């Protein structure tokens, strides 16, 4: 069980690097490509929208293919996309390369989450997804701060060359560690699409969108916020990114534990805690010590929601999880794009950086309200279900 999850986690580490490293290099990238900070922030939205667009396309294209070669091939596409990012001569080319890379992200996390649940005993599925996603959070703890520091010294392109190299290592790990006995998809495209039509699946995906939007409304512009409001610059930003990665690691593990315990009640609680922390964050950004403490608490709370929501979608689509799981990755990234876009538009129209956590807190409260609605619907369905006939 350990080796398959390890290989999936290595791949997730590489994908997390390419998704998140751009936040720490946003000022340098904007200056080199001669665009404004808000426009550079749209590279985050473009990547996220690439995941949204690529999720159903890649899921349908790989629905009947053996899962092991599909996962390896997706990492090959990821490697190619990062090489294209490193070589991009202009903002437009970089945007196109980011979208190409995002197509691999879309399918890998969706299919990888399903595979992770299949290589562990019952009752540990959410923790298996959390272990896979551990690579994503470790990318924030180790990869993003180190890559940001290197990129600030040697140029942002070197960071993407480094990510491409890690992608090659991930391909090797998948080839060596994934069992050759992994099954093909069994539900059929008809069953997969019918699963998407279930109200609880759609509601879970909407919660995923809002939870990610609440995260990226703050995260996208964390570097300029620290620089202009908190007074942290240079390597200090890398240190704060390390703190964020540590918080995300804790939150990911916490979410896996809670997802195997009381999934939806914990999602509601964590979203409300995240909203409260973001309100507090907006008030203390000008005090470096308090700002870093608030950012750590925010990272723990907001990142603990992803694993339970991925598990929720798989649970609500029994027998046909592949497409639902992959499309939910698109839902997360639609939220990423939406959060980055909302904050970018807000800044363009005169909002200040301390206002961004308040915007994100409102989004988190809305997500918690929908999670409560989903829980109520589930309990009503259980009460309405017919009782089993007594044994003769």
pLDDT, tens only, 16-46:
888 878 877 888 888 888 888 878 878 877 8
- What's the pLDDT at 362? 95
- What's the pLDDT at 203? 92
Q: What is the 3-state secondary structure (H, E, C) of 200-227?
A: HHHHHHHHHHHHHHHHHHHHCCHHHHHH
Rounded distance, CA 333 to CA 212, Å? Answer: 7
**Angle, alpha carbons 370-326-222 (nearest 5°):** 65
The closest alpha carbon to 331, from 243, 230, 203, 241, belongs to: 203
Mean per-residue pLDDT, 220-241 = 86
Angle between helices 156-177 and 26-33 (to 10 degrees): 120
* Position 282 pLDDT exceeds 90: yes
- What's the pLDDT at 388? 53
* Position 270 pLDDT exceeds 90: yes
DSSP 342: H
- What's the pLDDT at 115? 83
* Position 391 pLDDT exceeds 60: no
**51 contact partners, CB below 8 Å, separation of at least 6:** 102, 103, 105, 106, 329, 330, 332, 333, 334, 336
Burial readout 149-177 (b: 16 or more C-beta within 10 A, e: otherwise): bbbbeebbbebbbbbbebbeebbebbeee
Work out the pLDDT band at 352, boundaries 50, 70, 90. very high
CATH for the 2-383 domain, from 3.30.360.10, 3.40.50.2000, 3.90.550.10, 1.20.1250.20:
1.20.1250.20
Out of 80-94, 98-112, 362-376, which region has the weakest mean confidence (pLDDT)? Answer: 98-112
- What's the pLDDT at 389? 52
- What's the pLDDT at 355? 94
* Position 387 pLDDT exceeds 70: no
Task: Note the pTM of the prediction, 2 decimals.
Answer: 0.77
* Position 47 pLDDT exceeds 60: yes
- What's the pLDDT at 320? 67
The closest alpha carbon to 56, from 247, 327, 324, belongs to: 327
* Average pLDDT, rounded, for the chain: 85
Look at 35 and 356; give whichever has higher pLDDT.
Answer: 356
Percent share of the chain, pLDDT over 90: 30
Work out the pLDDT band at 371, boundaries 50, 70, 90. very high
> Where do the domains of the chain lie?
2-383
Cα–chain-centroid distance for residue 216?
10
- What's the pLDDT at 279? 96
Look at 166 and 138; give whichever has higher pLDDT.
Answer: 166
Tokens 């690579």 correspond to 135
Percent share of the chain, pLDDT over 70: 94
Mean per-residue pLDDT, 334-357 = 90
Work out the pLDDT band at 186, boundaries 50, 70, 90. low
Three-state secondary-structure class, residue 187: coil
Helices marked H in 260-349: 263-284, 288-303, 306-316, 321-348
Look at 343 and 324; give whichever has higher pLDDT.
Answer: 343
- What's the pLDDT at 392? 44
């Amino acid at each position: 069980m350990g080796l398959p999850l390890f290989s999936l986690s290595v791949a997730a580490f590489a994908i997390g690097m390419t998704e998140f490293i751009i936040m720490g290099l946003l000022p340098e990238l904007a200056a080199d490509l001669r665009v404004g900070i808000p426009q550079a922030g749209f590279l985050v939205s473009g990547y996220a929208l690439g995941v949204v667009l690529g999720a159903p396309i890649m899921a349908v294209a790989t629905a009947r293919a053996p899962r092991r070669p599909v996962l390896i091939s997706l990492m090959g596409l990821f490697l190619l996309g990062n090489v294209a990012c490193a070589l991009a001569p202009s903002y437009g080319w970089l945007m196109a390369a980011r979208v190409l890379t995002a197509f691999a992200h879309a399918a890998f996390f969706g299919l990888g989450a399903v595979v992770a649940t299949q290589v562990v005993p019952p009752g540990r599925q959410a923790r298996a997804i959390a272990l896979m996603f551990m690579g994503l959070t470790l990318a924030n703890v180790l990869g993003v701060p180190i890559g940001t520091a290197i990129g600030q010294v040697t140029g942002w392109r070197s960071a993407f060359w480094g990510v491409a190299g890690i992608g090659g290592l991930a391909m090797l790990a998948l080839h060596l560690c994934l069992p050759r006995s992994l099954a093909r998809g069994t539900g059929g495209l008809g069953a997969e699409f019918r699963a998407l039509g279930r109200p609880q699946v759609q509601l879970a995906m909407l919660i995923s969108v809002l939870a990610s939007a609440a995260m990226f409304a703050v995260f996208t512009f964390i570097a300029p916020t620290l620089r202009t409001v908190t007074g942290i610059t240079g390597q200090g930003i890398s240190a704060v990114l390390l703190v964020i990665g540590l918080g995300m690691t804790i939150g990911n593990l916490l979410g896996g534990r809670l997802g195997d315990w009381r999934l939806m009640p914990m999602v509601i609680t964590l979203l409300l805690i995240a909203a409260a922390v973001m309100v507090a964050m907006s008030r203390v950004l000008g005090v470096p010590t308090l700002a870093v403490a608030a950012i750590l608490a925010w990272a723990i709370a907001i990142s603990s929601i992803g694993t339970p929501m991925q598990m929720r979608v798989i649970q609500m689509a029994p027998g046909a999880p592949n497409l639902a799981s992959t499309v939910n990755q698109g839902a997360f990234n639609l939220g990423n794009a939406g959060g980055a876009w909302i904050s970018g538009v807000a800044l363009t129209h005169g909002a200040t950086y301390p206002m961004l956590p308040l915007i994100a807190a409102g989004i988190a409260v809305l997500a918690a309200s929908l999670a409560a609605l989903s829980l109520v619907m589930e309990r009503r369905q259980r009460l309405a279900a017919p009782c089993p006939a007594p044994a003769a």
